[in-house]
Amino acid sequence: MKKNPLLLQILIILIICLMGTIIVAIYFPKFLIPVIITILVVKLLIGINLFLWLKRISKYLKRMEKRIANYAVNHEEASLPPISTPLPEFKRFVETLYDAAEMLRSQDEYKNQIFQSISHDFKTPLAVIQSHLEALDDGMLTDEEFKSVVRTQIHKVEYKVNSLLYLNKLNYLSDLEIYKTEEVDLKPLIDEGVAKFKFLRPEVTFNIVITGDSVFRGTVDAWEAIIDNLLNNFMRYAEKTIKITVKDKRIIFYNDGPKIDENVLNDIFSPYKKGLSGLFGIGLSIVKRTISMLGYEITVKNEKKGVNFIIY
């Protein structure tokens, strides 16, 4: 551990004063009082110097606290000031504060982005239902058409609510050993997932190819979350085909939609991360976190036509 030079100097001065006082008291007793007065004056000067130094440090810390709060919490400053400390020993301390400030600002911006995106996700279905209700009142829609729209929008809201609840639940599920030791057959879960989503876009064809063993590590609710969130994403982008292949302990989800821009491939599993072609919601983040919790990996690969999500 590095020693503070100022405190070391003060300690040396005090030791010298003490030794000097003892020597004077033994060999020069008649000079004892002047020496004691001198030592008291020296101590007083040291005390004043130490007080001023501590006051300077206190002002510096208050100033830094205000600047960091304005940057990390209030967002009143675009960047942190260059590191300038009254003592070299403070540099590492300030660097740590800066790192914490950067993390706080990043988390705050991330939280605000998610809040805005979630608000938009819930407002959009309500706006769609309201506009179609007005169209129904004006005689521009039949009852069946209106029911179909309401059913679809309710499904979207229900999916968002369940996704948020599950994402919050993931924070403590990862510590449960059952998710790493239990096994489940994916074939019925894939069939159920396809049955839930195919009515949303009847023009999309689902192909399921299962070769060999379809038993994987995990629980029913974990794999349901993975399958449902992937299919929900695919229903937005697929043109005509969605294919699910289970072979050699790998699961490949394919859709023939547009390729994912290479610039956003690394961020595709970040919730509400904006890409060049749109906004990724929380669904793919749930997929990534759940797969990692089960001890598997997932990669995304652009094909000549479409995209593959590969779990292995």
Give the start-to-end residue ranges of the domains of the chain: 5-88, 108-172, 178-311
Pairing of strands 250-255, 215-217: unpaired
- Say what the pLDDT of residue 276 is: 41
The model's pTM:
0.57
Which amino acid belongs to residue 21?
Answer: T
Token readout for 98 is 């800066």
Which pLDDT score, from 0 to 100, does residue 74 have? 63
CATH class of the region 108-172: mainly alpha
38: tokens are 């001198």
Residue closest to 17 by CA, chosen among 46, 34, 42: 42
> Contact, 242 vs 236, CB < 8 A?
no
**Bridge partner list, 251:** 246, 311
Task: Flag residues of the chain having pLDDT under 70.
Answer: 1-10, 13-14, 17, 20-21, 24-25, 27-32, 35-36, 39, 72-90, 110, 113-114, 116-117, 120-121, 171-179, 271-281
CA atoms within 13 A on the CB side of 70: 12
- The whole-number pLDDT of residue 262 equals 81
Token code pair at residue 45:
């000067």
Q: Which two tokens stand for residue 233?
A: 């994403």
With a CB cutoff of 8 Å and minimum separation 6, the contacts of 252 are 243, 244, 245, 246, 308, 309, 310, 311
Reported as half-sphere exposure (CB side, CA atoms, 13 A), residue 275 has a value of 18
Predicted pLDDT of residue 279: 47
Query: Taking each helix axis from N to C terminus, what angle separates 90-137 and 143-173, rounded to the nearest 10 degrees?
Result: 160
State how far the Cα of 287 lies from the Cα of 75, in Å rounded to an integer: 32
**If you count them, how many residues does the chain have?**
312
* Gap between the Cα atoms of 163 and 141, Å rounded: 31
- Residue from 67, 16, 60 nearest 39 by CA: 16
Q: Find the angle CA(119)-CA(194)-CA(114) to the nearest 5 degrees.
A: 15
The H-or-E segment that residue 11 falls in is helix 5-27
What pLDDT does residue 289 have? 87
* Domain topology for 178-311: Heat Shock Protein 90 (3.30.565)
C-beta neighbour count of 184 within 10 angstroms: 19
Q: Do domains 108-172 and 178-311 have the same CATH topology?
A: no
